[in-house]
Amino acid sequence: MTRSTGLTSTATYETLDISVVDPGVAVLTLNRPGKLNAINLKMMMELREALRALDEDRAAKVIVLRGAGRAFCAGADLDWSAELGVEGRVESNRLGQKTFNAMEQMETPIIAAVHGYCLGGGLEFALAADFILCSANAQLGLPEITLSADPPVRPKITEDGDPDQPEFGGQAPGWGGPKRLPQRVGKARAMQMILTGERVPADRALRIGLANEVYADEEFEDRVMEMATRIAHMNRYNLRLNKELLHAGYDMLEPHPR
């Protein structure tokens, strides 16, 4: 459910928790801890609605994304995939792409606060944020290719078959990973991560540019909020302007008229 203290929106959600902390830090928590916050259709639709509302809410100057329980997000819920036919899987990819593309274009700065597992669609979700901060226990990766691999690489969760593997053709990360990961770590490292499906620990994620900072587990939440609070102290218009300049790749040559 949503705690909307300080927010204009009073919407409630089944899979998300949203709160605001002075001076304007909105914390959006994926709240399916029993499923390691795996993204199902309900969560995806609620993310679309919640992110759009937060971007329009003047009380939210910066957004922190986090996961409840022991993981940030383990990826797409395979139970959702198993329910889909061929057309449904294509549409689920498009839905995720549209959601994360819209998130990437938001004016409000977004921080992904990653602890525990951040895999598959979970990493693609984090990559659509402006930057990633990690707890020391974080593991990040795009393991989709391993789901239909030969033993012993194939994980136990798909030992009876991968619901996303088509009879003909192939599968790959479908929510923007092949586009955004190379932008963070370079093409060659992204190629290695995707072709091996490896899990990258937090310290290596920092070295290769996937994470901006890594904090000890016991101080992780405090340090994330410390950075978010510093950002929230900035002028809201200046935050949005500077984010736009960085995304667009141009300089502001003249100040805006009064």
Q: Is residue 29 a part of any domain in this protein?
A: yes
Assess if residue 9 is contained within a domain: no
8 located within any domain: no
% the chain with pLDDT above 70 = 88
The string of pLDDT tens digits covering residues 50-79 is 999 999 999 999 999 999 999 999 999 988
Q: Give pLDDT tens digits for 207-226.
A: 999 999 999 999 999 999 99
State yes or no: pLDDT of 181 exceeds 60.
yes
- Is the pLDDT higher at 83 or at 95? 95
Residues 131-166 have pLDDT tens digits of 999 999 999 999 999 988 888 888 877 777 766 666
In a domain, 258, yes or no: no
Range of the domain at 134: 16-248
Q: Which residue has the higher pLDDT, 191 or 82?
A: 191
Q: Is residue 257 part of a domain?
A: no
Sign of CA dihedral 13, 15, 21, 23: negative
Domain total in the chain: 1
144 carries an active-site annotation: yes
Catalytic residue among 49, 56, 124, 213: 124
**Within a domain: 116:** yes
Residues 56, 83, 87, 144: which is the catalytic one? 144
d(CA 103, CA 179) in angstroms, rounded, equals 15
Report the CATH number at residue 30.
3.90.226.10
pLDDT of residue 89: 73
3: confidence class by pLDDT, cuts 50, 70, 90: very low
Whether residue 67 is contained in a domain is answered as: yes
Answer yes or no: is 7 within a domain. Answer: no
Of 140 and 258, more confident: 140
